Amino acid sequence: MLQLFHSIFGSGRDEAPYPDELIQRAIERAVDGTDPRLRALSGYAKKLRAAVIHAIDHVVGLVDKLPAPLELDRTRFATDPELIAYFASLTHAQEILAVDPALNRWLASPDNAATGRIVMLLLMEQQERQVLGVALEGEMLRRDVAQTTVSFSRYRLLDPSGAEEETRRSLKRRAFDHLLAIALGRITSAHAARNELERARHLLRRKQAALAAGRWTFDNAGADTRFDPQAVQRQLEEIESQLQALRAGPGLLTAHLDTVMDVLSKAEHNFWGERRPLVVDRMGIKQAQASALAPQIELGVLRDAAGRTLVARLVTIARADLPPRRDLLREAQRYLG
């Protein structure tokens, strides 16, 4: 399956359409990644085809727009504005590289032993805090000045490889799968909503039956002193209406197929990238204007319809500049005695 996406996301594709065989296999990946039972629907592949091609085109453009990798060169941590913004120090960056599981797994493979340079995607979460600090205004030093500090945390490295093209291909495959995960999440949420409505309907019907049988005694009256038979009936009717809406269409599988098609055909609204300017000084304090002491950098931000936001940056590092790999298990055993 990985070879499929190497072919689809390979560089230098001149003709507009993708090969039919590859598109069909991409459709099957979309089905496997959401609900394999969709194969029971007549014409599912034909219905998914246009949405799958649209999603592939989107993720290709999304990853191709990522700028060239940032060099994690130990000599540049004191001068490069991006490195200064992202990491507290060279030591901080090396600590992140030393413990990252994806990078360590890649380095542990004998197939990668001869690779001299690694390219990968760095993901981070950005935080901003309002603080009181000092600031120089003209020749006067003022205290208790409201300031915004910017920092980054929860670093992760994705898809390391020995070539930028290979990493970009893997990221395109990952972005396509992210869209499938969004579709699967919506399918799962619909099931959860249906189950919750079924539970609510069951409870209300029990209330109705208890009232009709005259079983609202002193013991349970205190738990619902404002019980109103007409209100219960209205709630039941509303729940029935919502359940009917969830069951709309020829069947549950058709609804699932529609969800997958909707997410993939609107890929740019479900998973997208943005460029965001940031001006901070060496202390991580946000500035209103760029200057020699606080140059502007451009953050690459990945966002999705579920509300997730991550800063993303392609990075590259020479193997010789990597810190020694840490054996966390051995460290933990030594710490515990």
Query: Does the pLDDT value for residue 218 go beyond 50?
Result: no
More confident position, 262 or 136 = 262
Q: Residues 153-169: what's their mean pLDDT? A: 96
Per-residue buried b or exposed e for 43-59, using 16+ beta carbons within 10 Å of the residue's own CB:
ebbebbbebbbebbebb
Prediction pTM value: 0.78
More confident position, 303 or 192 = 303
* Residue range 178-202, pLDDT digits in tens: 999 999 989 888 777 667 666 666 6
Query: Does the pLDDT value for residue 332 go beyond 90?
Result: no
Burial of 132 (C-beta count, 10 Å sphere; 0-12/13-18/19+): exposed
pLDDT score, position 14: 46
Long-range Cβ contacts of 230-233 (<8 Å, 24+ apart): 232/204, 232/207, 232/208, 233/208
pLDDT score, position 74: 92
Percent of the chain with pLDDT over 90: 59
pLDDT score, position 221: 42
**Which of 6-10, 158-162, 225-229, 242-246 ranks highest by mean pLDDT?**
158-162
SS3 call for 220: helix
SS3 call for 2: helix
Query: Does the pLDDT value for residue 258 go beyond 90?
Result: yes
Per-residue buried b or exposed e for 109-123, using 16+ beta carbons within 10 Å of the residue's own CB:
eeeeeebebbbbbbb
d(C-alpha 335, C-alpha 75), whole Å: 33
DSSP string, 231-281: HHHHHHHHHHHHHHHHT-SS-HHHHHHHHHHHHHHTHHHHEEEEEEEEEB-
User: What number of other Cβ atoms are within 10 A of residue 65's Cβ?
Assistant: 10
* Residue range 36-66, pLDDT digits in tens: 989 999 999 999 999 999 999 999 999 999 9
The β-bridge partners of 213 are: none
pLDDT score, position 330: 64
pLDDT bin (cut points 50, 70, 90) of residue 3 is low
Burial of 71 (C-beta count, 10 Å sphere; 0-12/13-18/19+): middle
* Residue range 112-140, pLDDT digits in tens: 999 999 999 999 999 999 888 777 666 67
User: What number of other Cβ atoms are within 10 A of residue 326's Cβ?
Assistant: 13
pLDDT score, position 63: 96
Is the sign of the CA dihedral 269, 274, 280, 283 positive or negative? positive
pLDDT bin (cut points 50, 70, 90) of residue 241 is low
Average pLDDT, the chain: 83
Percent of the chain with pLDDT over 70: 74
Please measure the distance between the N-terminal and C-terminal CA atoms of the chain and give it in whole angstroms. 45
pLDDT bin (cut points 50, 70, 90) of residue 1 is very low
pLDDT bin (cut points 50, 70, 90) of residue 248 is very low
More confident position, 331 or 111 = 111
Q: Residues 239-244: what's their mean pLDDT? A: 62
